Structure 1
Amino acid sequence: MNEKDLPVMGRRGLIASLGTAAAGELIVSVTPSVAAAPTVTEGKPIQERAPSILVFDINETTLDIDHTAPVFQRVFGDKAVLREWFAQLVLYSNAITLAGPYATFFELGVGVLKMLADIHRVSLKPSDIDELRNRFQTMPPHPDVVQGLTELKGQGFRLIAFTNSPPVKPTPAENAGLYKFFEREFSIDRVRRFKPAAQCYHMVAEELGVEMADCGMVAAHVWDTLGAQAAGFSGGALITRGVNAPLRVANIPQPQIVVPDFVALAAETAKVWRQ
């Protein structure tokens, strides 16, 4: 993809964010006031600005990746390998962002599956790859998502979907019936860098025609909320789903909201970002 493929607004913003960096370098722009943003204390936000636009990660945050577990149970004899696969998929998406080349999230997913088959010394059939692709495309939403999104929309937030997955139609979010909640869906494929690269979050704000501080990131992954806040989003909300937790390290942006699911998210946003 080159400059002429982008709309004027997005093109200008991306040129500004990329600057004169050589191809393959990762740009990380940290806003000091955002990076130092503290967490919620007794339900009160300590921040200068609350987001009016909530940007949602899709894979695992809204959609249940355990839908793909039967493939891993059959191929590896252990459905827990799903978590190994997904962690490696995220690792290598970040590795190629730092290194410079690009492949789509789906292409990487197949490559990582083949790599794990070699490591675990199991055979992999084309039908296994096809099933994983189909299951990944048709993941259902977590049971709390529809209620949570309904309540958030009722609170007046603009809701945006933002995924590492390529813009293949229909998208996983569309297949899951979530499009009625989202104003727009963006893919990192536009900038050919994976989250949490700063260009990804800048692209969303630029395409929406809003300031970075108007946006808050909602994700089940600390690296996603961290990346968005470091890039300039005013808020972050971490959905733990019983298996995640904040990264409590000094000088690392912390999410203002940490909750187990979307129903709890809607309850907290009403107190923290809508008072």
Structure 2
Amino acid sequence: MVTRRFVLSSLALAAAAVALPLALPAMTAAPIRPKLLIFDVNETLLDLGKLQQAVNQEFKSETAFKQWFALLLQYSLVDTVTGNYHNFGQIGDAALDMLAQALGQPARPAGRKKELLTLITELPPHPDVIPGLTTLQKAGFRLVTLTNSPDATVQKQMAYAGLTGFFEQLLSIDSLKRYKPHPDTYRTTCERLKVAPAQTMLVAAHGWDTAGAQRAGLQAAFIARPGQQTYPLAPAPTLTGPTLPDIARQLLG
């Protein structure tokens, strides 16, 4: 029995030794050059500083915007997980009420909340965005957006920022009624544009977004905007860089 076990163990080790070198190339292989680049909008392309300043001033707190934006994301996911749906503007409005309550302040009138929320359609692009998009467009990449904001909002955002002409389509999760990072949001976009997930790359400045895209089978590029981090329990993004032109240089090799 000892001899037989030794022989079986030796055979298993030999098989592993043969298999290991064959597995290594797959682990170190370069990513497939994507045919389609899907861009997140808020914070990735657009600078939220104007909105951040307004919310912080309104609630007299340097952390008010971060609290509000976290509530906005949290309760969009609550809607998705519970099979419910309110658009991003509705959740943003409710999150302002929740923020006021958390800070021990009175709820703002509907008109004032609308003024604050309208600022999301009046945001400039980050300084690196137009140079980066220009490089990618000239290189022949297909470019689209995919945002949690409603269709009407992203249309206004891109027009105000002067970015509409860079994109083949301005897409939102609004028709699907599930928020990113639900895998259906990314897969449905790939199906709509007839590109395989493995040949598609999400470009985003949020670790939760890149994690969701990769779990759905896409590649992901993380723009490391100040204050943003990747999720340590998710796969590392395919590409990481401080600016969009840096991501573009990596894509072009």
Specify the TM-score bucket, using the shorter chain as the normaliser: 0.7 to 0.9
Instruction: Indicate the residue corresponding to 1:129 in structure 2.
Output: 113
Contact 1:72 1:80 in 2 (8 A): no
Match of 1:142 among 126, 145, 148: 126
Instruction: Kindly state the Cα deviation for residue 79 of structure 1 after the two structures are TM-superposed.
Output: 3.9
* Greater share of helix: 2
Rounded Cα–Cα distance in structure 2 between residues aligned with 1:246 and 1:224: 9
Larger Rg, first or second structure (1 or 2): 2
Residue type of the partner of 1:239?
Answer: I
Contact 1:257 1:268 in 2 (8 A): yes
1:72 to 2:47 alignment: no
- Identity among equivalent positions (%) equals 36
Match of 2:44 among 61, 66, 72: 61
Instruction: Indicate the residue corresponding to 1:161 in structure 2.
Output: 145
Rounded Cα–Cα distance in structure 2 between residues aligned with 1:163 and 1:62: 11
Structure 1 runs not aligned, ≥5 long: 1-36, 39-44
Residue type of the partner of 2:120?
Answer: F
Contact 1:71 1:131 in 2 (8 A): no
Instruction: Kindly state the Cα deviation for residue 75 of structure 1 after the two structures are TM-superposed.
Output: 2.1
Contact 1:75 1:122 in 2 (8 A): no
Rounded Cα–Cα distance in structure 1 between residues aligned with 2:204 and 2:159: 18
* Greater shift in the superposed pair: 133-142 or 164-173: 164-173
1:257 to 2:242 alignment: no
Rounded Cα–Cα distance in structure 2 between residues aligned with 1:223 and 1:46: 25
SS at match of 1:96: helix
Rounded Cα–Cα distance in structure 1 between residues aligned with 2:187 and 2:139: 25
Rounded Cα–Cα distance in structure 2 between residues aligned with 1:221 and 1:172: 19
1:204 to 2:189 alignment: yes
Rounded Cα–Cα distance in structure 1 between residues aligned with 2:124 and 2:212: 26
1:16-165 equivalence runs, <5 A? 46-47=29-30, 49-123=32-106, 124-165=108-149
Match of 2:199 among 206, 214, 223: 214
Change (3 A) 1:242 1:70: closer
Q: How many residues align?
A: 226
Contact 1:69 1:79 in 2 (8 A): no
Instruction: Kindly state the Cα deviation for residue 156 of structure 1 after the two structures are TM-superposed.
Output: 1.8
Instruction: Kindly state the Cα deviation for residue 198 of structure 1 after the two structures are TM-superposed.
Output: 1.0
Question: What's the Cα RMSD here?
Answer: 1.8
Change (3 A) 1:174 1:203: farther
Q: Name segments (4+ residues, structure 1) moved above 3 Å.
A: 45-48
SS at match of 1:189: coil
Instruction: Kindly state the Cα deviation for residue 212 of structure 1 after the two structures are TM-superposed.
Output: 1.6
* Greater shift in the superposed pair: 163-172 or 176-185: 163-172
SS at match of 1:168: helix
Change (3 A) 1:157 1:81: same
Rounded Cα–Cα distance in structure 2 between residues aligned with 1:171 and 1:254: 33
Instruction: Kindly state the Cα deviation for residue 69 of structure 1 after the two structures are TM-superposed.
Output: 2.3
Rounded Cα–Cα distance in structure 2 between residues aligned with 1:167 and 1:119: 30
Contact 2:136 2:248 in 1 (8 A): yes
1:239-250 equivalence runs, <5 A? 239-249=223-233
Structure 2 runs not aligned, ≥5 long: 1-25
RCO (CA 8 Å, sep 6+): is it higher in 1 or 2? 1
Rounded Cα–Cα distance in structure 2 between residues aligned with 1:103 and 1:186: 17
Instruction: Kindly state the Cα deviation for residue 118 of structure 1 after the two structures are TM-superposed.
Output: 1.1
Rounded Cα–Cα distance in structure 2 between residues aligned with 1:262 and 1:49: 19
Instruction: Please give the TM-score of this superposition, normalised by the length of structure 1.
Output: 0.77
**Could you report, residue by residue, the CA deviation over 1:48-101 in whole angstroms, capped at 9, with x for unpaired residues?**
523121100001110111111233233211243111111111111112111111
